[in-house]
Amino acid sequence: MTGKTPRKILPAGIAKVLKRLHYPLDVILLCVRWYVAYSLSLRNLEEMMSERGFEVDHSSVHRWVIKLVPLFEKAFRKHKRPVGKSWRMDETYVKVRGQWKYLYRAVDRAGNTVDFLLRAHRDEAAARCYFEKAIDRNGAPETVTMDKSGANLAAFQGHQR
């Protein structure tokens, strides 16, 4: 062990938010992790923490998720491996909480995920949003291989202008 407390190891933005929360750090992080990783409801987490001797209200867990998940995403993106300049892009549909959504995604030649985006509709606007997000975070690719979807091609060409 380094002797540092977990709050001092965390990125500054996350540590600042955690400083104002009045629960043990391991309880907060466990609740957020379980909520994000598994299909548990906030009330399931409230009950699970109660069984472990921690009285945590489901609304507190919800506030932790809202505050911390965007900060974790920002911190994790800084450590994401760089992706190659040749992307293979596709979209498919997946069921999320009982509703069908379109999953836009791309991988590079090595199989590293470039980025992904869930949208309710499969159209040029959704594809443009995906490309803007992926290019902003990873830089412009040299080549993109995609299916014959006219919306994807139009969105990518529109973004290049």
User: Within this chain, do residues 70 and 90 fall inside the same structural domain, yes or no?
Assistant: no
Instruction: Note the Cα 30 to chain centre separation in Å.
Output: 17
The one-character DSSP state at 102 is E
User: How many structural domains compose the chain?
Assistant: 2
Is 131 within 8 Å of 121 (Cβ atoms)?
no
Which pLDDT belongs to residue 161? 56
Which residue, of 77, 94, 117, is where some domain finishes? Answer: 77
Q: Last residue of a domain, which of 49, 77, 105? A: 77
Residues 69, 91 within the same domain = no
Q: Among 47, 77, 107, where does a domain finish? A: 77
| Phi and psi at residue 94, to the nearest 5° | -135, 155
**10 Å Cβ neighbour count for 17?**
15
Q: Given this model, what pLDDT does residue 159 score?
A: 62
pLDDT of residue 160: 60
List C-alpha distances in Å: 74 to 3, 62, 91: 26, 19, 24
From the list 113, 13, 119, 145, the residue with the least C-alpha distance to 73 is 13
Distance CA 123, CA 150 (A): 9
Regarding whether 52 and 91 lie in a shared domain, the answer is no
Residue 48: per-residue pLDDT: 95
Could you tell me the mean pLDDT of each successive run of 10 residues in the chain, 161 residues long?
A: 51 70 84 89 95 93 89 77 86 84 90 88 87 88 83 72 56
Q: What pLDDT, in 10s, does the model give residues 65-86?
A: 998 888 888 777 777 777 888 9
pTM above 0.85, yes or no: no
Does residue 1 lie in a domain region?
Answer: no
Tell me what pLDDT residue 148 has.
76
* Residue 146 pLDDT: 85
